[in-house]
Structure 1
């Protein structure tokens, strides 16, 4: 009975497994993928300059300030390919030598990487660079009449800017107060979270505060603005570090009182008295592996209270064995509640040297450790942190970690995807045609692409993926301008500027609606897919369901005539409209089945060794599913004819040579004369010695060996150059591996045995013989 039960269980579980596979959120592929093209974005790149990873929007000046390696650029905000001004900040030869003597690489590390770029209240720009492992800060001036100017007098950048250009860091400028999270020493072994002015405050150097952190981002929340409790503004820092309680890399959020924290009187003197941190969870498919944080974006609706602001965070696994990335969203009110009301953790020594952290269940001092000075504290004559009792300060010094973790909205990610890891994120809100507001996520990846994704009532949907840069460099920064409605991205290679939507890429109403892009809709009057805010009329749009039945009936596709000679080859092109659609072919209304002579390719149909039976009407159909239904459209229509043997008419037909008629005798006479002339010419050249006789080949060969030896060096150099020259990129048509997703554009498959295929020639539908 057990032997019968096992196969029955397998058969019963197979449909369930197939269902799970079909509904897996990991199969969330972009609906459209756009390979790199210069028209995808406005690009900026200057020869010899790399690492365009620091940006400052100066919307008041219509400028994008861009920090790169040893340079700062002022670019036109509306078209960043136009450089308006620039200033170089290069290290001296002496600084390079000192850096090299300390064991750093002369060509990469011993340069000046711009890392801090902020606007001050007097409209200057504050800039800091790694400066060959000797951080330094300056002010930059810019006016309408003066180019970018670097102030000659510099400031020490230690604690403000990282020494190492490849270490993660975070910084913000709030009312001329600079907050930074970086390392304060050359070795990178002393991490610090610091406010530089007006009173310098920093973290305690303890592993329970910061333990090998990877700083990610920092932002300020105006929680003190018109607060009934008399609260202070907050600074939030996000980072990953090795957790003291588990020795695993874990994501954390840190809470600070931004303005009123002046440090303690005796305990925590010139140290933060409000430093609290809590673990951030982003449960990815119930995985037990910890996911580390890579970037965050603060989104606030201007019409709502700060408590309704959200933090969007990117998470990736710390192991290279997994290629999953996730986006989780957190409410600021939930984060604030963990710090204001949550329990603390406390260290407990165990038998070994290991220290275990458990929930603290003892008495909590008053005022509450880590809390900002508010009206309740002021009533107790505690008007500033210098007045806090030592018991409160000692508690926060020893127990900065909260017991409760910060949970995402819905206790699950908004988006999970397998593939190139996520690196950066920004979020923009748009009101769609249905009146609802949707938050669209723009996500940069480590392969230089940008995803555009929305979560529609729990459904993950990726609208498109665009390759921004020619080289697949990770996107290191993303920012957005409300003034221009443009997104700006930076990588090692350069900077890119792209709009929120390119609706014109959809050429039909069905494609426009199935794209489910909240920025775009179909305008029936102009018969175009247009930007929603640019049209005064109501547009056809269905973002939640993708209901293409709302579209008017499309114009029929006009058939194209294609001809082929007997035993010839012909390719009929049919590019797939989207990654979510499937194409199929029919001839004279009947489905076309793949065979040795009819090969179904990813982008068309290949007819080989044509015969009369291949004549007919070929239609390529696209089928795409959405939540509203199944939609079919004709992508291409061809009328194919095969010419009878001997005919010389018809488009694309190779005419048969005529072998009879009055011209044959004359042609034969001409050929005879040519043969006699050629024989005479050869005899004359042999006689004069212009051509070597066969028995002279050996002598000639010996004479040439000496010359060959002399020329071998040059020949070898020529062959090496030929080998290193890139081969011309030509398409290869074969029946195998043509069904792969176009998400891997530009990569070559190198796994598995290599098979040598015979040369295959065919007539493309765009060229005729």
Structure 2
């Protein structure tokens, strides 16, 4: 719903209007299956209903079909959202309605945006023909154009100066003949056509859900309508129509994981856009000029908000500066930019037989990248793969060494522009298995160091053994033989008793029944240490209770 101040400075003394956009089954369609069509309806703001006919009901309700023709579609597209755009410095008749349409069948993946003038819509309601139902032999009611007499005052018209002269000051004073006419014939015969009788934007992909349009004045002095469109996949499109040229400036992913954008609003206080979904909200600036790092990228973006500041050498918002700005939104003429600084080559090394990966990101979605090697175009193959973000050479050899250059090619209405995005000097290294001089020297140092460490360990071990023999911590070999001889002289009963005592005193294998539970408490959900020791020394019931408490705390 949208209100239009049509009473403002009206010479006819007209009333304000409320426009309603919706979709419904078409009663005027001669078909067996229900066909859904888009509608726009209009109601006078001061409508009080009729005295006897249409009591407490609208007496000015009129509706008309809205068309948004898409070439590939055989069925009418269905309206999803509408935005009213008015210039405060112009009359209300110059206001526009932007509406997004989606197909009513799943065979087409297209979404469209159509623009309508309020004056064209108002003209259909004020001067257009009506449709009237006519019974036919079949069970269907056929709606045709009404060609009979139209009552006075005109059905659906608001109370104006002419009606007041006839003594009709409010809708309660309307005659029953006028009210009965509009009750039976609320549908207009003429359909509302968009500006230019075609969409201002058609795109295949994610379904459009919401739209906002903002007017901005570019460096050339003209005012442009910038469309911000939300989609089912949680992305937002920023698009402009330049003289019947549909141009998408950028597409930004707002919600992750993707979910439909249900709300899209603009704040005049903050100058920001706000998008809402079922799970969150996002704040988006109207312009993201900082993403363009060069003059060519800034100009080829063709964003009416942005321009290249020659003094500061960066892409800035037009409203923030008053100096000379380079911008070309209609043509995308990047020849206005000064010569860019040459790209400094970067060194890249690769092993013989390994993979060579060179990174190169295109400056925009519209740019296409290509590669040169040794000043000649590089031909992709099964071994040489040109990726979206760079170049990958499999099983690289010394013959792949040389100078690589990544070029960005972008086409605009003015010309085709090529720029260098990245440059690499690739050098092949020896095979890691070869015994080169550098590797041999490194291995020699490593081997000598290892020998020194082993020698120190042997000396330390011998010194430790000598110290234990000297202190008596370890028996000497001849003392061990003497002790074994004495033990062999003992009785069998004494031998059995000693064996039993030794078994009881020896440390037995530790039970592992509770260890999986303890290790579970140390898998990252907490930072406790020494859990196994605590469990081994406690009662099993207490141990399990300790584990349960830790698990509850971790949750």
TM-score by length of 1: 0.58
Which of 251, 258, 261 matches 2:38?
Answer: 251
Cα displacement (A) at 1:657: 5.4
Structure 2 gap ranges (5+): 459-508, 526-555
In the alignment, does 2:202 pair up with 1:416? yes
In structure 1, what is the Cα distance between the partners aligned to 2:287 and 2:437? Answer: 47
In structure 1, what is the Cα distance between the partners aligned to 2:444 and 2:204? Answer: 69
Q: Is the contact made by 1:430 and 1:437 (CA closer than 8 Å) also made in structure 2? A: yes
In the alignment, does 2:19 pair up with 1:236? yes
Q: Is the contact made by 1:433 and 1:538 (CA closer than 8 Å) also made in structure 2? A: no
Give the 5 Å matches for 1:555-570. 555-570=341-356
User: Post-superposition, which runs of at least 4 consecutive aligned residues in structure 1 deviate over 6 A?
Assistant: 646-649, 668-675, 710-716
Residues 511/660 of structure 1: CA separation in 2 closer, same or farther (3 Å cut): closer
Cα displacement (A) at 1:659: 9.0
Residues 570/358 of structure 1: CA separation in 2 closer, same or farther (3 Å cut): same
Cα displacement (A) at 1:597: 3.3
Q: Is the contact made by 2:310 and 2:324 (CA closer than 8 Å) also made in structure 1? A: no
Residues 661/482 of structure 1: CA separation in 2 closer, same or farther (3 Å cut): closer
Q: Is the contact made by 1:646 and 1:655 (CA closer than 8 Å) also made in structure 2? A: no
Cα displacement (A) at 1:288: 2.1
Where does residue 330 of structure 1 map in the other structure?
116
Between 1:326-335 and 1:356-365, the stretch displaced more is 356-365
Where does residue 7 of structure 2 map in the other structure?
224
Residues 645/436 of structure 1: CA separation in 2 closer, same or farther (3 Å cut): same
In the alignment, does 2:197 pair up with 1:407? no
Cα displacement (A) at 1:383: 1.2
Deviations for 1:345-386, whole angstroms, at most 9, x for unmatched residues?
111112222111111111111111111111111111111111
Cα displacement (A) at 1:607: 2.5
Give the 5 Å matches for 1:510-525. 510-525=296-311
Higher helix share: 2
In structure 1, what is the Cα distance between the partners aligned to 2:420 and 2:260? Answer: 38
Alignment partner of 1:254: what SS? strand
Structure 1 gap ranges (5+): 1-217, 676-702, 722-769
Cα displacement (A) at 1:655: 6.8
In the alignment, does 2:62 pair up with 1:276? yes
Cα displacement (A) at 1:487: 1.1
Q: Is the contact made by 1:428 and 1:439 (CA closer than 8 Å) also made in structure 2? A: yes
Where does residue 46 of structure 1 map in the other structure?
none
Residues 338/713 of structure 1: CA separation in 2 closer, same or farther (3 Å cut): farther
In structure 2, what is the Cα distance between the partners aligned to 1:478 and 1:666? Answer: 69
In structure 2, what is the Cα distance between the partners aligned to 1:662 and 1:410? Answer: 81
In structure 1, what is the Cα distance between the partners aligned to 2:249 and 2:445? Answer: 67
Residues 382/616 of structure 1: CA separation in 2 closer, same or farther (3 Å cut): same
Mark the structure with the bigger radius of gyration: 2
Residues 613/446 of structure 1: CA separation in 2 closer, same or farther (3 Å cut): same
Cα displacement (A) at 1:494: 1.1
In structure 2, what is the Cα distance between the partners aligned to 1:504 and 1:482? Answer: 22
Give the 5 Å matches for 1:549-560. 549-560=335-346
Residues 633/647 of structure 1: CA separation in 2 closer, same or farther (3 Å cut): farther
Where does residue 365 of structure 1 map in the other structure?
151
Where does residue 374 of structure 1 map in the other structure?
160
Cα displacement (A) at 1:565: 2.4
In structure 1, what is the Cα distance between the partners aligned to 2:108 and 2:48? Answer: 44
Where does residue 540 of structure 2 map in the other structure?
none
In structure 2, what is the Cα distance between the partners aligned to 1:661 and 1:538? Answer: 65
Between 1:249-258 and 1:237-246, the stretch displaced more is 237-246
Residues 376/319 of structure 1: CA separation in 2 closer, same or farther (3 Å cut): same
In the alignment, does 2:235 pair up with 1:449? yes
Cα displacement (A) at 1:665: 7.7
Residues 621/662 of structure 1: CA separation in 2 closer, same or farther (3 Å cut): closer
Alignment partner of 2:325: what SS? coil
Cα displacement (A) at 1:273: 0.2
In structure 2, what is the Cα distance between the partners aligned to 1:540 and 1:385? Answer: 57
In the alignment, does 2:168 pair up with 1:385? no
Give the 5 Å matches for 1:133-152. none
Where does residue 398 of structure 1 map in the other structure?
184
Q: Is the contact made by 2:73 and 2:108 (CA closer than 8 Å) also made in structure 1? A: no
Where does residue 284 of structure 2 map in the other structure?
498
Cα displacement (A) at 1:596: 3.8
Which of 410, 413, 421 matches 1:627?
Answer: 413
- Of structures 1 and 2, the one with the larger relative CO (CA 8 A, separation 6+) is 1
Cα displacement (A) at 1:447: 1.0
Residues 537/266 of structure 1: CA separation in 2 closer, same or farther (3 Å cut): same
Q: Is the contact made by 1:647 and 1:656 (CA closer than 8 Å) also made in structure 2? A: no
Residues 255/592 of structure 1: CA separation in 2 closer, same or farther (3 Å cut): same
Where does residue 385 of structure 2 map in the other structure?
599
Q: Is the contact made by 2:386 and 2:392 (CA closer than 8 Å) also made in structure 1? A: yes
